[in-house]
Structure 1
């Protein structure tokens, strides 16, 4: 009954009673409408008199979760297509995922955003990625609210809401949702995991990292690992998560926890122990065209795609396997062997975490979400793949013959390797396209497995309701008995965009409540509404580094839109745009309305202005003894003319070690002493190593060492100059004291900031070594008092 109906001229009997109750009802309505976190402190329940005898003590009640609230474990893999895992018909065996799926639920109509950081923003908030500030990646953030990578306070995370409702919270692995300019030893830490609801964090803050030499943080403190040939990141993450759960249960076994376990796997570089690669020897010699057919057949047999689904054709520009040379086939088949081993070892390590839950007894009261990929397979290795993948940004990676010379070492620490784009298409079977192309399911459709013992039924029936990654938050809140807050830390929250999946846990046929959802990444865009999809693609994803200008070609109104009735056409195989222009026009209008509401415009705003940096307009930098682990975003870009001056105290005997270094194995520079020689080494993407060796002996005691770099004039203009990687040619000169002791011309130098997660260090080289002639950290055995850098 509407409250206004109480206000009648005649107020007698029952109606009079209702009138008297009206104020109480209004208060009740108001209370339900304003859920505020953190919850206010309860009044003191004791009494306070003038003496202890006249007073009674009382402790505040601890914050407790709802009775019966489950533990929550949210697992997210990286760069895995819908058809990669054996659980969904793929060629990579994933027995641990198979086990979870057998006892839980499989969802085959679950959608992510299409690229990593935006998917994670939507996942962890229940909102759309533009609403959180992640319209694209932090690495290419732009000065608009939807694109600046600054997590909005009105989109509180699942972790924060659960923490304020009595949960313990922890995050492990990849965290790609902090602005690059805030990743520094002095923060600010407002957008690190531990300020966004997670009480504990162990992982890395970049889009990718090495499995062998990761740059990790525990909470906000950097972590260094002693060199260990057996070290492997995903193993370490699983170990740390298991340890944290054991510690938690030892102290607070009745308190539920929320664990977010997000591997860096299987993002490039594809780093894999060789025993896992060997399992797939010869398994991909048939090529990607045939593999798609094989995966498609298995998917139908497993029932993870409908019987009437169609296999979509190979996209233009992607070569047929039969058109390749024998050398190409040999290399590319092995690249996929490496990737399959990578997914399998990842499945094993995640399985250890799941097995520990089972063995400890936690599994029975734990709700597990396992999302097998934050987007489809990645074509970012280019048409040929790469063993120096960051070099694809500049287009200077090695050729097929060069890669074949050491192809058996792919997966080792020496190579930043990625498979050829054809495999990303194959692992995204049966859909069109792959990662980045958010207009099509090849980028946005990934498997979801849900396990919650005693709370799910009919596990043999695949769930086919349309779902989105922003549905996970409301599902968790409903399962945990948590009311979504209107206000968090004094900030009014915007509503959840997702819809709870809980009804589908017991009813396989229940209708999805998620009826409208837009998609957009780098101008590739689509709209889903009531079983229909309209989609517009901008470019081919393997071209993004070789032809960056394609991102900025404009003419969005000229894009060709496609139309699919996905309730009947699972794989988007039949374009109905020409047959039903009215439906297409209707959906394009819906996209536009959603785009305006969510801040999607302007499309592809990068890089209108430079991303903020810690360095700003500074040209003079001073680094004192002991400075290390400075992320590259905090130090100057040294592809320009500059002067580096080090005040060094050389020991009397056998000086050696790094004076200053930036970057690592896949790009950087190092000024070091070895075998009595002062050496400057430039490493461009791990492909070009040039050294400048000082003539003459080194002095003893305190000395000034100078390296000067004079960059050649740039010949790039227009869009090329705007988008060019920071790689230049120029002349380098070494001085000891006032005496020039060496000079050489570097054909290429710079690109150090493309070393992704590596750092700047004084007196050592942490992480992976810039030079192959020493092993990290190769500390200097004298003293480096200070290093100054002056930009010309």
Structure 2
């Protein structure tokens, strides 16, 4: 007898008698996808410029992405928001970044509707939409879409990947992570990497393994069930980490510098057809040193930094190829709608001279050529958090102006590849229709023949703000349906409408021309002046590289576009315009826990992220560890915070108490107790007492005196002449009983687990000096 099934919500159609023999069963209908429903794969690259993929004219080898382009489509007119979290929110919701409350990255959220970082539940995610149509949904890699204070073990978890429609997740929750010592989350819990760097571990390989495993797990049980995979590598964001052999493949390739790179890539882009034959290469950026003016040491260092980046990109492409090969091996690649996008243009966070520690940028700490040269043979390895200089950023966005964080085309025009042999016939063609990241969700739904849901989990859904470009798949001459698009990022504004772009750069067309650095606040008076005289106008249909400002001869068009920008700003919660950059990192925000000055951490604690950790920068604080040292002694880390890019560690070695402060990998301060710590139960403490003022815009946190104590008795002290002013460390959080993640110092080998017993760690930020150690011990005894 065939099964009788009925849709959810319908009345039971069977018969219920007094006994089974006079009854007829019926079953709720399982949620199944439509016959022939394709898989969907989003590959989201990080900080990859328009001119950095091989198929977009670059000398960097990306054979696997190239084969997607050769078997599908390259879009020459795709746009993002100029920053990662905002763009990713657009990719997954089909709404603008301010509509998603994601004006910037989550760590710089502010208390305004377009800026607070809480993506509304009425802006449903694509996986939430596809779940209702029988799809498996997986996210692998970078997330960076949860309010930063909600990424700890305290949750809440409703804005984590599993709370927004993904059934499985493996990756890292923040904006970047150490590629050899990543902070990993599996579903809703933290996990450690499966191997060490010495054993050959690298995050991109691990993410690819997990993505393949997720798909294999389901396909071997339900081969006809489609999946949506959001695959977001940590590459090409800093740190630029890659095994040396990959970087060495490019030895000498970039020795002729970034100016030559631009010329070479620009010519190739014309040959490919990405640009019209009469296009002009945008000007030499005033903030970028000419290659011939660099010293021999600078050229050697900068070329190596680019070799490392190129190796990183090729290495990433290799692992994307592994994922594609797996799909092909199980017969799924042709039936998978693949979209590959970078979240913004190439990144300028390495500064004008490049960096061996990106955290210097966030803390306004200047680079040292001498220090960077000393690290040249280790770049790409686990010791550094390296990033290339502005020259390669600018070159990576060839042919466009500027870079990530700015809304000239260098920041917002990105490589975009679509591959779907089972869905359209075009092969190796280029599309010039205007598109934006908000168009990806509508396009997927259109291609799948689905309507966006009216409600998700009982929440009425806001309309999609993007439009489908599926009509362009097999029609090179199809009209553009996306006619108007605003942009705003950190006060830098622009708007596109029907072939024209108006741009209002902040603080100016370049830092040198403005006479002001990145991240300056905009006052109401300055905004008025900018609207009167700061807008530029480009007819990008004829001048795609924004080379000729035609504002003076097209005043009426410019005024219309400025007015339209404000219309869009009102519609999508763009105001208030806020030009601040790093300053926003220190913005006071609500937290899950009420404000307090005493924090208690327990044994086994690992990776309490900086946003959930006590904020100890620039303030007096005491850290006390209640620990028992066995008769034969103990060694290892008591508590650590941060990693190779900056932080501190408190540990025992050779019977002595040690404190090491890593000032953004620029200087390291080491304080050792004068005597040994005896066996038994003790309160081991560190106290920091400020002795001066912080000067964060100079890259200097407050200086101070660092003191060590055992049971309240001083046993050592030293001076910290400079401390980290803004961000303690990007790579690792608080860990108790070990140095989890990347090491704060090279004085020991991680995790250097403590061999005694720790009861708890207490941070005290009251400013009252060393805590009452006797009271702490009495409290501990009372809780046994």
TM tier relative to shorter chain: over 0.9
Separation in 1 of the partners of 2:579 and 2:460?
28
Q: 1:546: Cα distance to partner?
A: 9.2
CA contact (8 A) 2:141 2:171 kept: yes
Separation in 2 of the partners of 1:166 and 1:748?
57
Separation in 2 of the partners of 1:545 and 1:562?
18
Superposed, which structure 2 residues align to 1:242-391 within 5 Å?
A: 242-371=212-341, 373-391=342-360
Superposed, which structure 2 residues align to 1:175-574 within 5 Å?
A: 175-225=143-193, 226-229=195-198, 230-371=200-341, 373-438=342-407, 440-539=408-507, 547=517, 550-552=520-522, 555-559=526-530, 560-574=534-548
Change (3 A) 1:724 1:483: farther
SS in 2 for 1:632: coil
- 627-636 or 493-502, which moves further after superposition? 627-636
Change (3 A) 1:751 1:773: farther
Change (3 A) 1:416 1:683: same
How many residue pairs get matched? Answer: 747
CA contact (8 A) 1:72 1:257 kept: yes
Separation in 1 of the partners of 2:649 and 2:282?
49
Separation in 1 of the partners of 2:483 and 2:368?
47
Change (3 A) 1:730 1:628: same
- Counterpart of 1:712 in structure 2 is 691
- Counterpart of 1:656 in structure 2 is 635
Superposed, which structure 2 residues align to 1:614-629 within 5 Å?
A: 614=592, 616-629=594-607
Change (3 A) 1:532 1:545: closer
Superposed, which structure 2 residues align to 1:159-178 within 5 Å?
A: 159-178=127-146
- Counterpart of 1:701 in structure 2 is 680
CA contact (8 A) 2:500 2:539 kept: yes
Change (3 A) 1:84 1:638: same
Separation in 1 of the partners of 2:516 and 2:633?
46
CA contact (8 A) 1:109 1:467 kept: yes
Structure 1 residue runs of 4 or more that deviate by more than 6 Å after TM superposition? 540-546, 723-726
- 317-326 or 118-127, which moves further after superposition? 317-326
Separation in 2 of the partners of 1:542 and 1:755?
27
Unaligned runs of 5+ in 1: 1-38
1:136 aligns with 2:104: yes
Change (3 A) 1:486 1:402: same
- Counterpart of 2:779 in structure 1 is none
CA contact (8 A) 2:492 2:579 kept: no
Separation in 1 of the partners of 2:78 and 2:131?
27
Separation in 2 of the partners of 1:627 and 1:234?
26
Change (3 A) 1:112 1:545: farther
- 568-577 or 285-294, which moves further after superposition? 568-577
Q: 1:584: Cα distance to partner?
A: 0.6
- 43-52 or 338-347, which moves further after superposition? 43-52
Separation in 2 of the partners of 1:754 and 1:78?
23
Question: Root-mean-square deviation (CA), in Å?
Answer: 2.0
Separation in 1 of the partners of 2:226 and 2:573?
36
1:633 aligns with 2:604: no
Q: 1:629: Cα distance to partner?
A: 2.6
- Counterpart of 2:19 in structure 1 is 51
Superposed, which structure 2 residues align to 1:595-744 within 5 Å?
A: 595-604=569-578, 607=584, 609-614=587-592, 616-639=594-617, 640-714=619-693, 716=695, 727-744=701-718
1:156 to 104, 115, 124: 124
Cα deviations across residues 497-555 of structure 1 (Å, max 9, x unaligned)?
11112111111110011111111111111111111111111036879999455244551
Separation in 2 of the partners of 1:93 and 1:545?
38
Change (3 A) 1:253 1:714: same
Q: 1:83: Cα distance to partner?
A: 0.5
Separation in 2 of the partners of 1:166 and 1:762?
43
Q: 1:402: Cα distance to partner?
A: 2.3
- 105-114 or 487-496, which moves further after superposition? 487-496
1:61 aligns with 2:32: no
Separation in 2 of the partners of 1:436 and 1:155?
24
Separation in 2 of the partners of 1:184 and 1:53?
55
Superposed, which structure 2 residues align to 1:36-115 within 5 Å?
A: 41-115=9-83
SS in 2 for 1:383: coil
Change (3 A) 1:499 1:758: same
Cα deviations across residues 708-763 of structure 1 (Å, max 9, x unaligned)?
111123165xxx6xx78783210111111232110111112345844124121111
CA contact (8 A) 1:649 1:784 kept: yes
SS in 2 for 1:362: coil
Change (3 A) 1:315 1:356: same
Separation in 2 of the partners of 1:509 and 1:459?
15
CA contact (8 A) 1:667 1:752 kept: no
- 292-301 or 565-574, which moves further after superposition? 565-574
Separation in 2 of the partners of 1:405 and 1:609?
36
Q: 1:166: Cα distance to partner?
A: 1.2
Cα deviations across residues 416-449 of structure 1 (Å, max 9, x unaligned)?
11101011110101111111111x1111111111
The TM-score normalised by the length of structure 2 is 0.92
CA contact (8 A) 1:395 1:546 kept: no
